[in-house]
Structure 1
């Protein structure tokens, strides 16, 4: 998907990297072969043969279903979908540390399993026709479809699956080592059958879906290529799109493959409807908006409240050429904020972090800058039933009590942390700043002769706030001024996107902006975002550098939850602990999508999209009559 921009943070949405880039496709079950004779079986353990797998219970769709409920099975193919993103790119290699990969460059690759927009905790066979696994889920055998091929016509084999796992673990983004550490072995039982064996003490509930969601690469293709080197050469894949054209740093186009092997499989029915997917790159938010008004691209989701409130009154809207809509967003939505780099000694004391957080006046920002469009975020799972509230329940306490030595005591004595409400009438809320100042003094930071706080060693309390967005300055600047009033030598440093990405990869920052798209069924991906093993892995999603035994233990409890109820309890406990640690300055959210697009598309739903996605690139389709009307009117180029 295209990087998400919440109030123009210009930060890519960080998703669980272990989840598949392309969740699609299902077909009927394969007749069991002699390979089952080679499987080590426990006499008392039932072996399940299925077309899919669910984390907690039964699958919604039977093996012979015709299509997912939310698609239009008769959606026509054709046309172009174009949108935008910010920054730059110099690579088509999205799974490695080097380079900046182009948006959507994972579209080349299929995976063994695929999910859907109906079930947050289920996956169905894509490259894998079926799978066998014991009730314990300590291993899985995938049976590959004989018709599954790469774009050059070569068959996808178990050896390719093995190669893909090994190369991701050894040469991929370093966090793969963390996410895949509980895979004990991968074996090709024959060319069409691959077996994964897991650590019996690992997160067995979701390991099958984790390995099933990995992209599959051609071992032959990489025989004379270095996987770890970035490249603009279109890779050999098996997915529904191939590269049409690339203009490094400016635009990338993908063309739908007429010969895609899985185009008629039932979970692909009604999907992948556009002939061409185009992403245009812009240096800043304002130029991107002006380009949209001029018809340079056709679809835009708006994240800048100023523009949404004041900018959508241009002639193309008045003439009916551009449709403007607000649709509900059912995803957890509260993971955007300013993140502290806990690797910096200056942030070692949580009182310092809390004081810096208190200097941000959300209420004033919302009224003065955001036109009242947002609510304040307090949870890492905002807008969901996974959000902690009030004092911990008995079930939460059962998880938290053994971890008491590693968490703030406020977790047990106070309701889940919620940022204090500031005075919306004045950007500098003196009462709030006095409270923040008291926290800094308790942490050993006193005001020096020049008004800057210093510690006992005479070191100044200096922080750099990093960002790459010109439009975000209007939010940063009042915050920085409040920090200066507090005695913090705060510096706002706007850099270009390439520099920002490089510095974040190497954790060379004090405070940066980041948004995570959290799952409704959290699990192993949390290791990469909050786990200790990922804290110092270059390029990892643990941007804050969280290293905490209680956090690790609660992530394990989430991974091992046997029911949705147990999962919810464990996530609430983790949310409660993370909030008490003050690892970020939470920003804002809205439970809706603000979208605008040139009226040339149709979609299979009205005003109520699937909870997890609008599906604009996969479910929508091109209407040639509407397009021609726009073209005749001179609305588009």
Structure 2
């Protein structure tokens, strides 16, 4: 009877009793599975916990800046602009998607992840010494959703209600639906000081450094020339497990170089210390005359990683009627000769991209498996038939025959779409020529794009290649004022809400969104929801692969290439850990060899 009575009491107590038992405070949260690091961990495995503090790291920025607010679309911010700002939690680079408390001491969420509670650390402080409170957290989300860059609205659209449960305790409740990622997305929330922004306009550019709470604050700077970030010596989180062994330099300085060639020569002259090289030609030939490498004063290193490559490619603006037919988009893809470019321009350093998630288990391979078919079959009438019958492959070229077979395939596709060649020009049924502009922001891409344009000319297509300055380029892309651009979308090992920002119909006409192509596809919207709602790793992989197939077979981009390594050229005056995590080399784990501070 006592047992029966106890059960009755528990039932009458309602869900609150069960919730408290099932949603215990934790030091971190994993998207799927369990955390790698226990509650008493002292540092990440890929840092040197005893790295000395001191010295200066000098870097190059290749764009001018006119604002120090990195959270809005107006203006251009310098590299490193987020360094002064902390988040509720911090990600581990050696796990697919796990976060550990930073400003938040603990996180609580039930099994269905319908809500999340963050309890803030009592020692968390702004740079002016004031404590970080629940009011700051609520203010941050409200401000970023209403006045911040468009992606914040997509990221946090699922938050239904915010509640202050105490001075250091805040609860977010989510809208109905399966979105297991939302507690971790909230963990990435940059926290802004409410008391600082009162009386100020958040969504305007500013060259007054905003107040932050992070490991660095803005020091000296001259717009268009340089900016320096100074280490906060009394940084409140310097001994936190997620921060220990990181952010070791007293100063991080970015000098602005508007020309990539000049920037490379400045590195070799010792004007700055480290360069991440993303141009294959420069990596193959640009460092051969650097005497410092020969003498051991500088080093060239490649760091392999296990991250998805993401997608870089020529992106069609689907708002242009010229590109509305999928056969036209596939035809233009046939004219890009990657194999020729890799041999003649890239020194064989790249692999062709065949997936939006290449270099990972998330990439679609072969034909859809059972888990994928369960998602795709209900959408069969809405997706290209090749999704079910063929493995996607970016159009290859035969080393002996070159581009000619591809161009013949392109001609057939264009004719099916109603185009024909008249007097050497491709025209539609009304006699209008096929003419468009490929917009670039760097002369480095001209050597790749001009041969592509020549191949298009052989089809009768007039493709004008135009390179503009970074400011004009950013403004035109934000307003979708282009025909075709080179675009890249980074991917993680745990895709989620960002896919909506990349591909959803809702994001198609949001200025500044990452859906630059204007994709509006109900099947893709459905698959994005499946990715976001995936309850475990197996179903996440299946949903991501299904989404990958549908994106690929709609030919929204002409895939380019990727590299499974991070290429770094640096002067040999830094210490770095021996461990490189799955997400790649970590710049902020370096330290100056001649430093000796704490």
What TM-score, normalized to structure 1? 0.89
1:329 CA drift (Å) = 2.4
Per-residue deviation, 1:38: 13
Q: What residue number does 1:379 align with?
A: 355
Q: Secondary structure at the match of 2:330?
A: helix
Aligned residue among 506, 520, 528 for 2:493:
520
Q: What SS does the corresponding residue of 2:39 show, helix, strand or coil?
A: coil
Aligned to 1:134, the other structure's residue is in SS state coil
Distance in structure 2 (CA, Å) of the matches to 1:477 and 1:132: 54
Deviation of 1:334 (Å): 4.1
Is 1:45–1:134's contact at 8 Å kept on the other side of the alignment?
no
Give yes or no for the alignment of 1:274 onto 2:249: yes
The equivalent of 2:411 in structure 1 is: 437
Please give the secondary structure, in 1, of the residue aligned with 2:197. helix
C-alpha spacing 1:214/1:38, structure 2 compared with 1 (3 Å): farther
- Measured against aligned partners, the alpha-carbon deviations of 1:144-171 in whole angstroms (never above 9, x if no partner) come to 1111110001111101100100000000
> Per the alignment, in what secondary structure is the counterpart of residue 48 of structure 1?
coil
Contact (CA 8 Å) 1:48, 1:135: kept in 2 or not?
A: no
Taking the aligned partners of 1:209 and 1:123, their CA distance within structure 2 comes to 7
Q: Which residue of 1 aligns with 2:80?
A: 104
Q: Do 2:54 and 2:595's aligned partners in 1 also have CA atoms closer than 8 Å? A: no
Q: Is the 8 A contact 1:127 1:148 kept in 2?
A: yes
Q: Which residue is equivalent to 2:591? A: 621
CA displacement at 1:252 relative to structure 2: 1.6
The residue aligned with 1:9 is none
Question: Quick one: distance in 1 between partners of 2:528 and 2:134?
Answer: 31
TM-score (norm 2): 0.95
Answer yes or no: is 1:217 the counterpart of 2:192: yes
- How many residues get paired? 583
User: In the alignment, what sits opposite 1:167?
Assistant: 143
103-112 or 156-165: which moved more? 103-112
- C-alpha distance 431-197 of structure 1, shift in aligned 2 (>3 A): same
Distance 1:230 1:625, change over 3 A: closer
Shift of 1:42: 5.7
**Deviation per CA, 1:171-200, whole angstroms, max 9, x where unpaired?**
011232222111101111222111100013
1:458 is displaced (CA, Å) by 2.5
For residues 284 and 447 of structure 1, what CA distance do their matches in structure 2 show? 40
Q: Summarize the alignment of residues 157-196 of structure 1 with structure 2, pairs less than 5 Å apart.
A: 157-196=133-172
Q: Which residue pairs with 1:631 in the alignment?
A: none
> Residue 97 of structure 2 corresponds to which residue in structure 1?
121
Deviations 1:210-229 (A, max 9, x none): 11211010111111111100
1: CA distance between counterparts of 2:571 and 2:339? Answer: 34
Aligned equivalents of 1:223, 1:385: Cα separation in 2: 47
TM-aligned CA distance change 1:488 to 1:138, over 3 Å: same
Distance verdict in 2 for CA 1:194–1:252, change over 3 Å: same
Aligned ranges for residues 241-280 of structure 1 at < 5 Å? 241-280=216-255
Q: Partner of 1:95 in structure 2?
A: 71
Q: Where in structure 2 are there 5+ consecutive unaligned residues?
A: 1-12
- Seen in structure 2, the aligned counterparts of structure 1 residues 234 and 581 have a Cα distance that, compared at 3 Å, is same
Contact 1:364-1:423 at 8 Å conserved across structures: no
**Aligned residue in 1 for 2:294:** 318
1:301-312 alignment to 2 at 5 Å? 301-312=276-287
Moved over 3 A (4+): 37-45, 423-426
Deviation at 1:202, TM superposition (A): 4.1
Give the secondary structure class of the aligned counterpart of 1:537.
Answer: coil
One of 262, 268, 271 as aligned partner of 1:293: 268
CA-CA distance at 1:509 after TM superposition: 0.7
Distance in 1 separating the partners of 2:172 and 2:525: 24
1:547 deviates by 1.3
Residue 300 of structure 1 aligns to a residue whose secondary structure is strand
Q: 1:561-580 counterparts in 2 under 5 A?
A: 561-580=534-553
SS at the partner of 2:543? helix
SS state of the match for residue 108, structure 1?
A: coil
Question: Quick check: 480-489 or 62-71, which moved more?
Answer: 62-71
- State whether residues 144 and 192 of structure 1, in contact with CA within 8 Å, keep that contact through their aligned partners in structure 2: yes
RMSD value, Cα: 1.8
1:592 paired residue number:
565
